[in-house]
Amino acid sequence: MATTSDIKNGAVILRKNKRMKVIEFLHVKPGKGPAFVRTKLKDIQTGKVVDETFNAGAKLEFIRIEAKEMQFLYEHGDQYIFMDIQTYEQLNVNREVLGKNDAFLKAGMNVDLLFDGKEVLNVRLPAHVHLEVTHTEPGMKGNTATGATKPATLETGYEVQVPLFIDTGDVLKLDTRTGNYIERSKN
């Protein structure tokens, strides 16, 4: 069993029967009293972030998480179908596992699935995706200085605020971490 000296960013520990990812940590050695480790942990299932303090040398159970590159094929009801790009094996993943990430998935996209043994814990998307606008109000040329925005519906059904000059059929670059519009795609 590992101790607090093995903690590092990105490590996953088992805490109170929950898988918690270490977001940040700090070893503290006060002038008076024993040393301790202050951490920020993110629950992998719910996404909730908690602050936790451990005594130096406390025993922790680390979990080995494996990432596997897979291709998203299609959605079937509450199931998302992925294919292993090496073995062509297909895998069904429940909607709950994806959370808000399903708004950025489109057929043929390669993503990383994070596994704990055989169980899928999470889907890691690329930092940016390119999605086509399927509906928005007509665009106006030259209307870029005001900073005004309008809603646009994308090919996955996701709705995002975009500048007024964006039109139906444009391909947009989006940040998958925040869900925000970055720019109109150049391709």
pLDDT band at 45 (very low <50, low <70, confident <90, very high): confident
Q: What is the pLDDT of residue 145?
A: 61
Per-residue pLDDT for 112 more than 70? Answer: yes
Residues 71 and 120 in one domain: yes
Helix (H) or strand (E) holding 98: helix 95-98
Question: Measured between alpha carbons, how far is 83 from 125 in angstroms, rounded to an integer?
Answer: 15
Structure token pair of residue 160? 């995002």
By C-alpha distance, which of 121, 8, 113, 119 is closest to 62? 8
Residues 73 and 88 in one domain: yes
Parallel/antiparallel/unpaired status of strands 59-63 and 2-3: antiparallel
Per-residue pLDDT for 157 more than 70? Answer: yes
Residues 94 and 107 in one domain: yes
Instruction: Tell me the torsion sign for CA atoms 157, 185, 160, 127.
Output: positive
Structure token pair of residue 62? 């680390």
> How many structural domains compose the chain?
3
Residues 59 and 82 in one domain: no
Residues 137 and 178 in one domain: yes
Mean pLDDT of 42-67: 84
Of residues 47 and 93, the one with the higher pLDDT is 93
Mean pLDDT of 98-125: 82
By C-alpha distance, which of 76, 73, 36 is closest to 56? 36
The CATH number linked to 134 is 2.40.50.140
Residue 109 sits in which domain range? 66-124
Of residues 143 and 4, the one with the higher pLDDT is 4
Residues 120 and 135 in one domain: no
Within a 13 Å sphere around the CA of 160, how many CA atoms are in the beta-carbon half?
29
By C-alpha distance, which of 113, 121, 108, 104 is closest to 63? 121
Q: What is the pLDDT of residue 127?
A: 85
The pTM of the full predicted model, rounded to 2 decimals, is: 0.67
Kindly report the CA angle at 112 between 22 and 130, in degrees rounded to 5? Answer: 110
pLDDT band at 187 (very low <50, low <70, confident <90, very high): low
Residues 35 and 23 in one domain: yes
Distance of CA 59 to the CA centre of its chain: 29
Residues 30 and 57 in one domain: yes
Residues 88 and 120 in one domain: yes
The CATH number linked to 15 is 2.30.30.30
| Cα-based distances in Å from 142 to 71, 139, 165, 170, 182 | 39, 10, 7, 16, 18
Domain edge (last residue) among 95, 124, 153: 124
- 7-32 pLDDT, tens per residue? 887 788 888 888 888 888 888 888 88
φ/ψ (deg, to 5) at 164? -65, -25
Residues 56 and 100 in one domain: no
Per-residue pLDDT for 68 more than 80? Answer: yes
- 117-149 pLDDT, tens per residue? 787 877 888 888 898 889 888 866 665 566 788
Domain edge (last residue) among 124, 142, 163: 124
Percent of the chain surpassing pLDDT 90:
3
Q: What is the pLDDT of residue 143?
A: 57
Residues 10 and 32 in one domain: yes
Residues 74 and 43 in one domain: no
Mean pLDDT of 31-54: 85
Domain edge (last residue) among 93, 124, 155: 124
